[in-house]
Amino acid sequence: MTQQTWDEVGGLLPYDEFRAASDAIVTNIEQVIEGKTATVRLALAVLLAEGHLLIEDVPGVGKTKLAKALARSIDCSVRRIQFTPDLLPSDVTGVSVYNQETHDFEFRPGAVFANLVVGDEINRASPKTQSALLECMEERQVTVDGVTYQLQTPFMVIATQNPIEMEGTYPLPEAQRDRFTARIAMGYPDPTAELAMLDGHGAVDPLSGLRPVSDADTVRRLIGHVRQVHVADAVKQYAVDLVTATRESPDLRLGASPRCTLQMLRTARAVAALDGRDYVLPDDLQVLAVPVLAHRIIPTADAQLARRTTDAIVADLVHRLPLPHDRKRSPYDTRPPAGGNGRAPFEPRRP
C-alpha cells in the first residue's frame, strides 16, 4: 500500500491515518451491533464510495440501530425521517412558506438537508413520497418551486425497510432501488452474539452512550483516499462483463444499469482500501455482486414461479462468469474458501 494518497481536500492523507480512522468507526458501531463485522464494514464502504445504503430485513434485527450507530459515529449533521403513509414529499425536501413580515416566500429546508439522512421503514410511505428522494440521491441537490439547493458533502441516505410481504408496505420503484448502491440484510445473530447482547444491552440502550469518533472533514479525506485506489483494466472489464450478464440472463427481464457498474467499482475501491490495498481484485467484485446487483434486477415470471430469488440468480451468474485471473480471497468474503493457486498482478505499476 502506498503510504500517502492525494485527497480532495488538497493534502496528503497517510495510510496509517486512513486505517486508524476507518477502524475507529467500525469499532464504535460494533459497540451497538454485535457479531456483524462484515455487515458493518460494508456499510462503511458504501459511505466511503459516496453511495446510499438500503437495509432490508424482518423487524427487530437491528436495521435502524445500524443506521443510527453509523450516523452517530460521525460528528456531522444527521436527520432521521420516519416514513409513514401520511408523510408528504415536502416533509422530505422542504417547503416555501409565506413570511408576513417580509411579504415574501422563504424556503424552509426539509430533512434531506443533512450529511447523513436516516430513512426508517422507507417502504411504508407512498410512492409519491418515496420519489422525493430521487433527485437528492442522484444529483445531491433539491429543487423546490423552481429553485435548486445544493446538499452538503458528504451526503448519504441510509434507509431501512421491511420485506414487501409485510403488511402496510409499498414496493420501492425501480428508479428508487437503482439509486441505492447496496442492499444488505442484517440476519439473526448467532447464539453467542445474542447472549453477549443480553449481557451488554439488557439494562441500557447502547446508542445512548455512543459518541462520535470522526467528523465530516475526516470522512471527506477518507473519500478522497478511496478515489485514488487503482483498478486494472482487466478488473474493469470483469465488472462490465458481470453487469452485462444480468442483461442477457434468461431468468431476468430487467438487468443492471450502467449506474450499477459505476457504483460497484466505487464500492470495490472502498472495500480494497479498508482491506489495506491500493488496488482492486476481482474477488472484491465477487463479494459485492449480490449486495450491489440483486436489488436492481427483476426476475421473469418463470423464475418467480420457480421460486428463484434475485440473490440466487446473481450468485449463479458470478459462479458461471470466468475470472480474469486467479483471485485472492478477501476478508469480506463469508463464503467457504474456493480454489486458486496464486495472486493476480492487479497492483499498479510502481515507478
User: Residue 318's closest CA among 290, 345, 337, 346?
Assistant: 290
Q: Is 48 exposed, middle or buried (0-12, 13-18, 19+ CB in 10 A)?
A: buried
Asked if the model's pLDDT at residue 10 lies above 70, the reply is no
Is pLDDT of 200 > 80?
no
d(CA 38, CA 30): 11
Band of residue 26 on the pLDDT scale cut at 50, 70, 90 = very high
Residue 341 has pLDDT above 60, yes or no: no
Please tell me the distance from the alpha carbon of residue 153 to that of residue 240, in angstroms, as a whole number.
29
Q: pLDDT of 240-285, one tens digit each?
A: 999 999 999 999 999 999 999 999 999 999 999 999 888 999 999 9
**Model confidence at 338: pLDDT above 80:** no
pTM value?
0.84
Residue 155 identity (one-letter amino acid): F
| 173 prior amide bond cis, ω within 30 | no
Report the pLDDT value the prediction gives residue 345, as an integer from 0 to 100.
54
pLDDT value of position 169: 76
**Lowest mean per-residue pLDDT among 6-10, 14-18, 46-50, 250-254:** 6-10
**What residue ranges define each of the domains in the chain, with the CATH number in brackets?**
4-228 (3.40.50.300), 230-336 (1.10.8.80)
- DSSP output for 34-88: TT-HHHHHHHHHHHHTT--EEEE--TTSSHHHHHHHHHHTEES-EEEEE--TT--
Is pLDDT larger for residue 204 or for residue 202? Answer: 204
pLDDT for 167: 67
How confident is the model at residue 280, as a pLDDT? 94
β-bridge partners, 299: 252
Residue 254's Cβ-side half-sphere holds a number of Cα atoms within 13 Å equal to 13
- Neighbouring CB atoms inside 10 A of 164's CB total 11
pLDDT at 1: 42
